[in-house]
Amino acid sequence: MALSASDVAAMYSLLSNSMNADHLLRRPAEEALAQSESRPGFCSCLIEVITAKDLASQVDVRLMATVYFKNNVNRYWRQRRNSSGISNEEKMHLRQKLLMHLREEDDQIALMLAVLISKIARIDYPKEWPDIFLVLSQQLQSADVLASHRIFMILFRTLKELSTKRLTSDQRNFAEISSRFFDYSWRLWQSDVQTILHGFSALSQSYNSNAEDQHHELYLTYSSFQKQYPKLWDFVMRASTKLMKILVAFQGRHPYSFGDKFVISSVMDFCLNKITDPEPYLLSFEQFLIQCMIMIKNILECNQYKPSLTGRVIDENGITLEQMKKNISGAVGGVLTSLLPNERIVFLCNVLITREPFVLPNKLAGEVRNEIDCGFDNSAQLGLNLLTLDVQPQVKICLVCMIVLVDLSGVVGEVMTRPWASEKTALVKSVTRIFTCVMWRYFVLTARDLEEWYRNPEAFHHEQDMVQWTEKLRPCAEALYIILFENNSQLLAPVVVSLLQETMNNCPTSVTEITPALLLKDAAYGAASYVYYELSNYLSFKDWFNGALSHELSNEHPNLRIIHRKVAVILGQWVSEIKDDTKRPVYCALIRLLQDKDLSVRLAACRSLCLHIEDANFSEREFIDLLPICWDSCFTLVEEVQEFDSKVQVLNLISILIGHVTEVIPFANKLVQFFQKVWEESSGESLLQIQLLVALRNFVIALGYQSPICYSILLPILEHGIDINNPDELNLLEDSMLVAVNIIEDYIILGGNDFLGMHATSIAKILDLVVGNVNDKGLLSVLPVIDILIQCFPMEVPPFISSTLQKLIVICLSGGDDCDPSKTSVKASSAAILARLLVMNTNSLAQLASDSSTSLLLQAASIPVQENILLCLVDIWVDKVDHVSSIQKKTIGLALSIILTLRLPEVIDKVDQILSVCTSVILGGKDDLTEEESRLAFCA
């Protein structure tokens, strides 16, 4: 029964009760709302609640209504087979109502309404909602400030939503929208910017009207302005960051246009200056600096700015587009050379890694020494004196901090004439770290970093090593450093090696205090680890490991966790440079780090061990006796970590160990117990269970014919994973299927005729149930089973699975895969199976192709067949041969060769295509995919 206007009051009551803390009121309301979701008129009632003027103050109820509205759009706006959905008449009413309510005063509700409009526009524009942009633009002409803001929010959300559509027609529609709005937006932008700048100028003049020296410039960099106008300050910084993002996007999309010397030189010089000498106000706005770094990195690695290796054809008339691009690339190369001479490259490298700490002037050092000797009796006056110094603001901050907080013996050397009193020792240790963070260094750990590490080592590990490099300042600086080094390795390698040696000399392996020297060494270690490939020609890993790294690992002071963690990273990054005589001590070092007291160190060692075990030169002989302690350390680590990412990382190491070492069976019982415990503790965490299924799959493969010893845990897990009534089945089904398929494949190969005799009927039922009733990923997971069955039993199996094979013929001859890579993979893989059947049992495929039931299936699928089905398959083999693995190509080649022996006149018309495929298969190619690579590609 449809809902109407008379139900709006009841709908309001249900929404209100659904947020009630009393479950006796909340649960019935939630159930009633759930039952109403599929009823016609539900969304119409919701929008009446959202837009009712007398409910303007009921923000929580109206916001809840927008949430239900959005969920209903996601579920019922599109017409589906199992649901009548929302009628076209109600959709039209909702679209009109949404565009009539643009002056929503509450920000949260306005945002949700913008999201709603964008979701609907993604589905309905342009066919069902062609005038949405016309209506919005017309209302924008005469709108007030609030309505303008809401309309721009809607436009932003809607354009962003439409830009993600990838079909050619959708992209063409988006191009039309862009051409319609760009000129208007650009003119509006210019006008607004002029207004804003005029306002800033008037504000700065008013703010400095009493100043003796008027410069008539914006004083936005002064901290007093930041404190007096915090909202305006925040707007300026967010706007600046957004502008930098626009420039970054423009450079990525239109590199040649951006390559104009007046554009690229100005932008790049600006970004370099901000990175190498950031003003104090930028210290709290990392996002702006991140965008500056992204810009420099993108320019340095842009392929369009690299020298072209192609030449120009002699006597070529005019300048071609390619020649124009080449000219621009050459011009940009000249600009980059002028902006980044060698000395500036070295300077930028040093800035990214570290800067030398400043030294106090003698006169000032004397004043500070006197203050210390006097017990800080006049520290306030000295602080005021420091603020008048003609130095950078961040230096002033450092100096003032030093009076009260900093261990001067670690900063100014001989200025310190006597030790501090014993009661100040704790203060000295803690504020040494504070001073280190005040100096602007990108690689050096700050006091805030160390505090976060102390508080939560797991979160610190993932923040440093697993975050997207575009989101945090240090990973972004590291990414910029890597591309800078790769482009200038011969210039920078000696610089980094020298810095590494200097920091090791300044901070011997026996040091246990967290001093600036220790943090600088940690930064230098990081710089050396990130560019191992280019640096290996200048630095011997064996000498480095034996001379410093191994000695530092023997220092078990808690503060050395900083260096231990970085050593763990180095051992993983330099894996390709670790030769045979060093492998054993490195393996031992990583196992020791895996048992460290600090979780961040252990997780770093866990990741590095994965890299070593997966390495092509992994030496199981050198590692085999470390396996017991490695297993136990992994089991213990899984129990001690709390975060999901940590558990996944350790499970990944266990899975890799199982897949790469031969000595698994002696530890099988321990592993079974471990998997059982983890599975029980991971209830409700489907993503963690997926990782566990991957490990179990490797476990089954490693056990081979002894795999039944793990069935006590494996079979209940698989039964749970493939249960379609299980709430987590969407998350677990695919990985559970892969495990089950691996088991079936092994039984087919190892069980032989005995297995076939016992289970042929069951296997045939399973295949018939799966093929034609699951999505492309599900098909790709089960097709290898059919292929193996035909390989092992080419005569016995086809009669059992004839229904499944007929479905494969239907898949091959159906269309719709031109713009769908997954369907292409399914069709190509199915065609390869049928080709194998032709090669190994020609009569069986011929019988299937001529069977009337096959023709009926094709007719039911609306697939017209103008000629012999077998000849139709020939066209598919010819067409899809480039989409299969190397072995499958050979199978198709053999099948086509057999086709040539058939006395069918239609084959003559296809001879040239068949011979072309056969010739290419015979000649082969270096880029052929392996069977496993092809299968992985199909499942991607």
**Cβ neighbours of residue 510 closer than 8 Å, sequence gap 6 or more:** 555
- Residues 717, 163: Cα–Cα separation, whole Å: 41
Contact criterion met (CB below 8 Å) for 849 and 868: yes
Distance of CA 346 to the CA centre of its chain: 31
The Cα 345–Cα 866 span in angstroms is 68
Tokens found for residue 107: 């920000």
Mean pLDDT across 197-221:
57
Structure tokens at 785: 């089973």
Task: Assess whether pLDDT exceeds 70 at residue 52.
Answer: yes
pLDDT of residue 680: 87
Give the pLDDT confidence score for residue 631 in this predicted structure. Answer: 93
**Length of the chain, please?**
940
Cα 309 to Cα 255, 300, 452, 490, 765, distances in angstroms:
19, 18, 49, 22, 59
Alpha-carbon dihedral angle through residues 516, 522, 527, 532, given to the nearest 10 degrees: 160
pLDDT at 520 over 70: yes
φ, ψ for residue 83, nearest 5 deg: -150, 140
For residue 35, count CB atoms less than 10 angstroms from its CB and return exposed for 0-12, middle for 13-18, buried for 19 or more. Answer: exposed
Selection from 856, 891, 853 nearest residue 873 by Cα: 891
**Average pLDDT, stretch 287-312?**
85
Whether the upstream peptide bond of residue 558 has omega within 30° of 0, thus cis, is: no
CA angle 491, 565, 539 (to 5 degrees): 30
Q: Residue 439 has what DSSP assignment?
A: S
Work out the percent of the chain whose per-residue pLDDT is above 70. 82
Token pair in block for residue 621: 């002989």
pTM over 0.75: no
CA dihedral 310, 313, 314, 320 (to 10 degrees): -110
Residues whose CB falls within 8 Å of the CB of residue 491, separated by 6 or more in sequence, listed in order: 342, 345, 346
C-beta separation of 262 from 339 below 8 A = no
- pLDDT value at 932 more than 60: no
User: For residue 773, with 0-12 CB atoms within 10 Å meaning exposed, 13-18 middle and 19 or more buried, which class applies?
Assistant: exposed
- Phi and psi at 80, nearest 5°, equal -125, 160
- Rounded to 10 degrees, the C-alpha dihedral 214/216/218/224 comes to 20
Alpha carbon distance, N-terminus to C-terminus of the chain? 44
Per-residue pLDDT tens for 536-554?
889 999 999 998 999 999 9
Which phi and psi (to 5°) does residue 293 adopt? -65, -40
Q: Which two tokens stand for residue 795?
A: 């005569």
Q: With 70 as the cut, is the pLDDT of residue 281 above it? A: no
Look at residue 143 and tell me whether its pLDDT is greater than 80: no
d(CA 779, CA 784): 9
pLDDT in tens, 450-469: 999 999 999 899 888 756 78
Record the tokens describing residue 937, joined without a space: 């590609």
Give the DSSP H/E element, type plus range, for residue 64: helix 59-76
Q: Is 366's pLDDT higher than 90?
A: no
- In the chain, the percentage of residues whose pLDDT exceeds 90 is 40
**Residue-by-residue DSSP string for 658-707:** HHH-STTGGGHHHHHHHHHHHHHHTTT-HHHHHHHHHHHHHHHHHHGGGG
Structure-block tokens of residue 660: 């790469």
pLDDT at residue 393, as a whole number: 43
Residue 343 carries which side chain, given as an amino acid letter?
E
788-823 tens-digit pLDDT: 999 999 999 999 999 999 999 999 988 766 667 888
Q: How far is CA 577 from CA 493, 539, 544, 570, 615, in A?
A: 16, 10, 12, 11, 11
3-state class of 257 per DSSP? helix
Q: How far apart are CA 618 and CA 602, in angstroms?
A: 21
Over 90: is that where the pLDDT of 164 sits? no
Question: What are 848-865's pLDDT values in tens digits?
Answer: 988 888 888 888 888 877
Q: Which two tokens stand for residue 32?
A: 């009633």
Angle between helices 886-901 and 821-840 (to 10 degrees): 50
Name the β-bridge partners of 83: 80
pLDDT at 405: 40
pLDDT tens by residue, 631-671: 999 999 999 998 888 998 999 999 999 999 988 999 999 99
Determine the Cα–Cα distance for residues 546 and 100; give it in Å rounded to an integer.
Answer: 74
Q: CA–CA separation, 568 vs 604, rounded Å?
A: 6
60 token code pair:
């929580």
Q: What is the 3-state secondary structure (H, E, C) of 774-815?
A: CCHHHHHHHHHHHHHHHHHCCCCHHHHCHHHHHHHHHHHHCC
Please give the Cα distance from 697 to 735 (Å, whole number).
9
Integer Cα distance of 530 and 475 in angstroms: 11
Taking Cα atoms as reference points, which of 41, 36, 35, 129 lies closest to residue 90?
A: 41
24-47: pLDDT as tens digits: 899 999 999 988 888 889 999 999
Residue 224's pLDDT band (boundaries 50, 70, 90)?
A: low
Rounded Cα distance between 913 and 875, Å, is 9
Over residues 267-285, mean pLDDT: 82
Span of 200-209, 551-560, 567-576 with lowest mean pLDDT: 200-209
Q: What is the overall mean pLDDT for the chain? A: 82
How far is it, in rounded angstroms, from Cα 790 to Cα 808? Answer: 14
Q: Report how far Cα 596 is from the mean position of its chain's Cα atoms.
A: 29
SS3 annotation, 140-190: HHCCCHHHHHHHHHHHHHHHHHHHCCCCHHHHHHHHHHHHHHHHHHHHHHH
pLDDT at 310: 56
**827: its two tokens:** 């069709």
Residue 126, preceding bond cis, omega within 30 degrees?
yes
Point out which residues pair with 184 in neighbouring strands. none
Which pLDDT belongs to residue 829? 92
Q: Of all residues in the chain, what percent are helix, strand and coil, respectively (each to 5)? A: 75, 0, 25
> Can you give the pLDDT at residue 37?
86
Going by the DSSP 8-state scheme, the letter that residue 903 receives in this structure is: -
Distances 821 to 479, 651, 783 between C-alpha atoms, Å: 32, 31, 17
Amino acid at 207: Y
